[in-house]
Structures are given as C-alpha cells and as structure tokens.
Structure 1
Amino acid sequence: MKKRVVITGMGVVAPNGVDLVNFEDAIQKGKSGIRFEEELDRLKFSCQIAGKPQLSEEKIAEYFTPLQLRGLNSSGIVYGVIAGTDAWKDAGLEIQENEAPDWDSGIIFGTGILGVDKFREAIHLIDAGKTRRLGSTSVMQTMASGISAYLGGILGCGNQVTTNSSACTTGTEALLMGFERITAGKAKRILVGSCSDHGPYVWGGFDAMRILPSKYNANPTEASRPMSASAAGFVPGSGAGALVLEDYESAMERGAKIYAEVLGGAVNSGGQRGGGSMTAANSEAVIRCIEEALRFSEISAEEIDVINGHLTATTKDALEVESWKKALNSKDFPYINSLKGMTGHCLAASGSIECVASVLQMDKNFIFGNVNCEDLNSEISDLISEEKIPRKTLEKPINILAKSSFGFGDVNSVVIFRKI
C-alpha cells in the first residue's frame, strides 16, 4: 500500500519576503519584491529591474559557520540553505550534531545554474595563472549538486541526497520526486525544494532574447503582469523555496503540524513537437500532464478549488489558461492566480517558492490576488469568467489546489495538494 505524504515544514527566501511570516504577509497584501538594479543599468541591460531577495550579512551569518562563509560566493546556495534549514526547523526537526546520519531523511533540492559568480571569480584567477588562490570550496560551490550537498551536511541526512534540474519546472519536479520516494517506502521524510542564483550572468541571456520588459525600469513594481493585456515579458528573479515532505504515519507519531497532503501529480514533456519548442510548451503535453495528475491523485476536475499557474506574463499566458480549460472540461472553472506579479519569474526556484505560496493559501484560507492584472487579456476573459481571476486577496477556504510549472525544453509538471 502506498504511503500517504504530507507537508510538515516550509521555508522561503523570495524577492518579496524572507521567512514564512514575511512572505505570507507580502502575498496577502500584494506586495512586490521587484526593484531597480543599478548593476543592470551600468551593464546596459534593456531590462534593468529584477526580483532579488533582501538579505543582510547578519542574517546570512545565522546559517553558516565562519569557515563556510570564507570564500562563499554563490547566492543560490545562500538562498537554498536558508530556506531548507528554516523548513527543517519549521517541521520541528532537530539538527543532530552526533556522528550517525539520519538514515530515514533525505534531500532532493534542485537548481538551474549554481555558483555563477564563483565561476566568474575562478575563471579570472585561472586565466591569471593563480589557480592555487581558488580556495577549497570552489568545486562545491559550482557543482550543480552543491546545494543538496551543503544541506545534507548541515542537516546530517543519510537517505538520498541529490539535485535535479529541469529549468522552471525544477522545484515542482523535486517535490514530486520526493513524494514518489516516500510513497514507495524508501524514506520517512524528504526535504524538497529549489534555488536560483541572482545577477547579470544569470539574467543576461534572457535580456539578449528580448523576452524581458524594458519599459518599466522607472516603475519596477508594475512590470510583471501575468494574464494582463499589457504584459511585456517576464521579470527575472531569484530565491529559494523548501518543503519537508513526510510519511503521514511518521508525522502523526511525532505530533507534527501538517500543512497539507500531497495527493500526487505528473511530469512529462512535449518532445519539442506539435507546436512545442525549446522555449514554448506543446499544448497537448500540458493537457496530458494535467489530466494524468488528476487521474493519479484520484480526484475530479470539479474538486479543484484553485489553480496556481505558471503564468509568467508573456503572450503564452492565454494558451496556458486554455490548456487548463480543455483539460478540466468542467462547467465551473476554479479560481486561478499567479505569484509572478509580485516576485517576477524566479526561474529554477519558481516552482518551490510557488508551492510554498500555494500551501500557505490552503493553511490560512485565502486566495492571493493577481497583481497588475487590471487590464485582463481579452483572450483569457473569452475563456473564463473574470471573477475567477481575483485582483485582490479573497478570504476563502481551499480544499484542493493544483500547482503547475512549465519550463524551457518543453517540460511540464503538475502537483495536487489537499487540505487535511
């Protein structure tokens, strides 16, 4: 018999809020974390705004030893360690200092690209013939699995400790990978999540593709406009989200707080065929992913109360809503919202940050509003009723929420949460 999987802890480092309390307050109030970045202006980016978490040196020092901080130059690792450690503590789990690993606990924590600034630092030193000045941590800061390795050592996890990477679906995919390991009885708990570096060396390629908004540099909080008729591209962001998934019986035995249950989900690819490409989703694959998530979770379309969409503020937003409408094929379309109006698109971190936002809504009985969507895209209003796209926060209980993420490479993931 499959094990039931519940969420017992969460942590978040987002552009509009660091820690659960500040993040929940921000999304309830529609607070944006998108700001003008002087560095992007100096480097002559067309888009000179971004969503970057605000962290002090004092805050960072709470999570790393002086030895770990020496030469640390990877924002993704910083974000991931803070979010992951907070989620662990939020679950009421202790950080053991003894010699024995926790064989029942593992980590699946993803990223898209890690240690970009450390790479740049290393390249300059190597080119200057100063390899020995690289320091002992350059490898662990730049290897993709550096984030799970850092967390694994801090938390002492002895089960599977690994990193996944699937562009913007990474965080949601990590959650489903952890879910599958627990349902199979191979672990009692898995810390899942994802992180993304910040900075021009991460965001520059997107600016070169001209898919970022360039006319809002003086009005950064208005730039990210999911489902809006005036959407002009996604705003780049960064950060990390983390969730502790746990076997239901284990959670009950130790009296843990349960935020929600993970019913299941699905992951697939459109194969970059049938309208899909490196940068665009195959709509048939999206529809199949949604349908498979419902089947696996053993729920009907009518039972979904809210969809937290991928919805990045591009011309593809209407197509995403259309795919949901076709997949659900129900008379009463659920409420739908997008976090990206407040955070921008946090790339590999987006799925996990948005999963945290989704579960917070369920736990606290609210649906956050869609920021910057006053001028709803007419292609979307032709598909669903405007009342299903709240502009302000609604106080409303949620029983079942569907979270979707779609990424470069034509990859898709959908997860279904249920309130307990």
Structure 2
Amino acid sequence: MERRVVITGLGVVAPNGVGLEDFKSALKEGRSGIQFDQQLADLQFSCQVSGTPPIDKDHLKKYFTDLELRNFNSTGIMYGVIAGLDAWKDAGLEISDGENPDWDSGTIFGTGTSGIEKFRESIYKIDALQTRKLGSTAVSQTMNSGISAYLGGKLGLGNQVTTNSSACTTGTESILMAFDRIKSGKAKRILAGSTSDSGPYIWAGFDAIKVCNFKSNDHPEKASRPMSASAAGFVPGSGAGALVIEDLESALARNAKIYCEILGGNLNSGGQRDGGSMTAPNSVAVQKCVKDAILESGIEPKDIDYISGHLTATSKDATEIKNLAEALNRSGKNFPYINSLKALTGHCLSGAGSIEAVATILQLTENFIAPNINCEDLNPEITSIIDAECIPQKFLEKELNIAAKVSFGFGDVNGCVIFKKYS
C-alpha cells in the first residue's frame, strides 16, 4: 500500500535569516541578505557581493561540541547540521540516545562540495610536509557524505543515511528521494535537505565564467534581480534548508504538527540535447518534468496557485517562464503567482532547492506570497508571456492550496515537487 507523505518539520540557514522565524520575517518584509563581501574585493573578484548566512561562534556552540569545532571550517556541514537539527526539533522529535539507532528514521541530505576550506588547508599542509597536522576531522569534513554522516550521528539515525548531489537541483532531488522512500514504506521519516559551502573557493569558478553580477558592487541589496530587464547575472550565496518528511500515519500517531502534504514530483535530464548543455536547459525536458510532476500528483495544471521559480537573474529567466507557461498551458493573467527567493538570498547553489522549498512551504501554509524585489523594470520578454500581476512586487496575502517548486541545475538536470495544504 502506498503511503501519504507529509512535512512535519522545517529548518533553515539562509543569508537573510537563520531560523524559521527570522527567515519568515525576511520573506514577508522582502528583506535581502546580500552584502558587500570584502574578501571577494581583496581577491579582485568581478562580483564583490554575496549572500552569506550570519552565523557566529556562540550560535555554533548550540549545535557542536568544543572538540567538534576544533580545526572545523566546513561551512556547508555547519549550515546543514544547524538547519537539520532545527527541523528535527521543529518536528517534535527526540534524539535517539539508546543503544540502538532509530531504524525508522534516516537522512538524505545533499551538497555540491564539502569542506573546500579544509581541502585548501590540507593541500598547504601536505605540500609543507605537515601531513600529520591535518587533524582527525580532515576526512569527515571533506568527504561529500560528511553532512549526512554528521546528521546521522548526532540524531542516531538507523535508516538510509546518504548524500545526493545534482548541482542546483540537489535540494529538490533530496525531497523527492525521501518522498519515494517513505511512500514505498522503507522508512517512516527522512530528514531531507541540502547545503552549500560559502566563500571564494566555491564562487571563483562562477565569477570566472562571468555569470555573476559585477555591476552592483556599490548597491548589494539591488544586485540580485530575477525577472528584471536590468538583470546582470546571479549573486553567489550559501546556506541550507531542511525538511522532516514523514509517513502520514506516523505523524498522526504522534500528534505531530503537519505543514503540508507532498503530492508528487518528477526528476529528469535533458541529456544536454536539443539546445541543452552543461549550463543551458533543454526546454522539452523542462516542460516534460513539470508535466510529469503534475501527472504523478493527480492534479490539473489549473490547480497550481503559486510557483517558487528557479529564476537566477540571468538571460534564462525568460526561457524558464516560457517553459512553465507552455507546460501548464497557462499565460497572461491565467498564470499562477510566481516569485524568486534569489532576489533576497542570492543563488545558494546546491543549498538553493531546499532553502526555497522551506520558503515555499511557509508561504503555502501561512497564505502569503513574498514580494519580488528588484524587478520594478520587468523583463518585457517575460511580460509578453505572463501578466505583471502574477509577479507581485509587494507582500501579498493570498489563500493558497497547491504550490510547485521547480529547480534546474548545471548538467541539464531538472526537478519539480508539488506541495498541497494538508487536509
């Protein structure tokens, strides 16, 4: 018997808000977390602004022991552990402290890279013949599965504990992987999410290929401009989002708070064919991904009230809107409301899908749409497809029932997940 799957816990570490309440306030206010980044300026980056979560040492000590923090510099693992533990607590779940792990609970927590600063430190020490000074956590910080391993150990998880990676689609993919595992009865709950390291050694490659905005260094909060005619590239960001995804029966049995239900979704690839490439989407595949997600969810395109777009503030924004309009067969004023969190956070790379999913669920459950900032000059290619009213630029209270989160990543990979208010 296939099970219904719900979300019972949320956690977030974002450039514009750490913790659910701070993040939710930032969404409603349209508050940006993008700031001037002196380190990028010192390193002569073209883009000298970034979205970096404001985490201090006192905050870290709530989640890590002093021993764990010794020689610890993997920001991705830090963000992921904080978001993951917060989501677990938000779901009202206890940490397994018995002799055996919790066989019913696991984690699928994605990342793009892990511990890039630790890699850098290790390279310098090895070259200086100081291999023995690498420390005991060099491996756990730099292996890609480090984030899921840390969460698995801290929570005592005995079900599947793994890390997925599919560029900017990573977070959405982790949600759908967890959904499939629970729906099939292989787990009662999965802590799903994704995280991304921060800093110049992550962002340099994007700066080098000139996809980042270098025209707004003097105006950081105006730098990320999805759907704008003056969009000039994305702003690099980082952070983590986490969701406790659970079997409905299990959630009801423990009287858990339920945010929403996952109806279904889809993952696919354009195979870098028919216009698709390492950096560009195959439009046929994008449209198929959305159509198949709707089909699996048992709804009609007209049922979608709101879309959390991928929308990175590049030339592909108009292509994304066109693909969505064609997949839904909805245009003009008939198109759903849509926004892009990246205007407030920058592009959090492998952490983007899960952070944006948390934002999607908060908007769905509390009936509001966060404002699209920095697009007062809407791209005419976009407004020729959908009406400007579908892109609210001020906080909007709106009854929502079904929302879609879409993600499109390097390598021509796509993801779409459909959320519905629980009833």
TM > 0.5 between the two? Answer: yes
2:193–2:243 Cα contact (<8 Å) kept: yes
Any residues of structure 2 matched to 1:36-55 within 5 Å, and which? Answer: 36-55=36-55
Q: Does 1:388 align with 2:390?
A: yes
Q: Percent identity?
A: 65
Which amino acid letter does the alignment assign opposite residue 225 of structure 1?
R
Whole-angstrom distance in 1 between the partners of 2:125 and 2:97: 36
Instruction: Give the corresponding residue for 2:111.
Output: 111
Whole-angstrom distance in 2 between the partners of 1:159 and 1:258: 22
Instruction: Give the corresponding residue for 2:169.
Output: 169
Any residues of structure 2 matched to 1:123-202 within 5 Å, and which? Answer: 123-202=123-202
Which amino acid letter does the alignment assign opposite residue 285 of structure 1?
A
Q: Does 1:320 align with 2:320?
A: yes
Any residues of structure 2 matched to 1:6-85 within 5 Å, and which? Answer: 6-85=6-85
2:273 aligned counterpart, secondary structure: coil
Which amino acid letter does the alignment assign opposite residue 372 of structure 1?
N
2:318 aligned counterpart, secondary structure: helix
1:235 aligned counterpart, secondary structure: coil
Whole-angstrom distance in 1 between the partners of 2:72 and 2:99: 25
Which amino acid letter does the alignment assign opposite residue 312 of structure 1?
T
Whole-angstrom distance in 1 between the partners of 2:359 and 2:266: 20
Deviation digits for residues 111-143 of structure 1 (CA, Å, limit 9, x no counterpart):
001100000000000000010000110000000
Which amino acid letter does the alignment assign opposite residue 387 of structure 1?
E
TM-score, normalised to structure 1's length? 0.99
1:406 aligned counterpart, secondary structure: strand
1:108 aligned counterpart, secondary structure: strand
2:135 aligned counterpart, secondary structure: coil
Whole-angstrom distance in 2 between the partners of 1:122 and 1:133: 9
2:411 aligned counterpart, secondary structure: coil
Range with greater deviation from structure 2 (67-76 or 157-166): 67-76
- The gaps in structure 1 that reach 5 residues or longer are none
Which amino acid letter does the alignment assign opposite residue 384 of structure 2?
D
Any residues of structure 2 matched to 1:195-210 within 5 Å, and which? Answer: 195-210=195-210
Whole-angstrom distance in 2 between the partners of 1:4 and 1:47: 45
2:97 aligned counterpart, secondary structure: coil
Instruction: Give the corresponding residue for 1:371.
Output: 373
Instruction: Give the corresponding residue for 1:249.
Output: 249
Instruction: Give the corresponding residue for 2:350.
Output: 348
Whole-angstrom distance in 2 between the partners of 1:212 and 1:17: 22
Whole-angstrom distance in 1 between the partners of 2:407 and 2:354: 10
Deviation digits for residues 264-313 of structure 1 (CA, Å, limit 9, x no counterpart):
10000000010000001100000000000000001000000001100000
Tell me the CA shift for residue 165 of structure 1: 0.2
Tell me the CA shift for residue 259 of structure 1: 0.3
Instruction: Give the corresponding residue for 1:299.
Output: 299
Tell me the CA shift for residue 96 of structure 1: 2.2
Q: Does 1:409 align with 2:411?
A: yes
Instruction: Give the corresponding residue for 1:333.
Output: 335
Which amino acid letter does the alignment assign opposite residue 221 of structure 1?
E
CA RMSD, Structure 1 to Structure 2 (Å): 0.6
Whole-angstrom distance in 2 between the partners of 1:147 and 1:299: 35
Whole-angstrom distance in 1 between the partners of 2:122 and 2:97: 32
Tell me the CA shift for residue 362 of structure 1: 1.0
1:107 aligned counterpart, secondary structure: strand
Instruction: Give the corresponding residue for 1:288.
Output: 288
1:307 aligned counterpart, secondary structure: strand
Deviation digits for residues 55-94 of structure 1 (CA, Å, limit 9, x no counterpart):
1100001000111111111000000000000000000001
1:397 aligned counterpart, secondary structure: coil
Tell me the CA shift for residue 330 of structure 1: 3.3
Whole-angstrom distance in 2 between the partners of 1:56 and 1:132: 29
Which amino acid letter does the alignment assign opposite residue 240 of structure 2?
A
Any residues of structure 2 matched to 1:210-225 within 5 Å, and which? Answer: 210-225=210-225
Which amino acid letter does the alignment assign opposite residue 101 of structure 2?
P
Whole-angstrom distance in 1 between the partners of 2:205 and 2:31: 27
Deviation digits for residues 227-248 of structure 1 (CA, Å, limit 9, x no counterpart):
0000000000000000000000
Which amino acid letter does the alignment assign opposite residue 99 of structure 2?
E
Instruction: Give the corresponding residue for 1:362.
Output: 364
TM-score, normalised to structure 2's length? 0.99
Which amino acid letter does the alignment assign opposite residue 183 of structure 2?
T
Tell me the CA shift for residue 25 of structure 1: 0.1
Whole-angstrom distance in 1 between the partners of 2:114 and 2:14: 17
Range with greater deviation from structure 2 (239-248 or 60-69): 60-69
Deviation digits for residues 338-394 of structure 1 (CA, Å, limit 9, x no counterpart):
100000000000000000000000111101111101000000000011100000110
2:96–2:157 Cα contact (<8 Å) kept: no
Whole-angstrom distance in 2 between the partners of 1:39 and 1:69: 23
Tell me the CA shift for residue 156 of structure 1: 0.3
2:399 aligned counterpart, secondary structure: coil
2:93 aligned counterpart, secondary structure: coil
Instruction: Give the corresponding residue for 2:2.
Output: 2
Instruction: Give the corresponding residue for 2:93.
Output: 93
2:243 aligned counterpart, secondary structure: strand
2:362 aligned counterpart, secondary structure: helix
- The gaps in structure 2 that reach 5 residues or longer are none
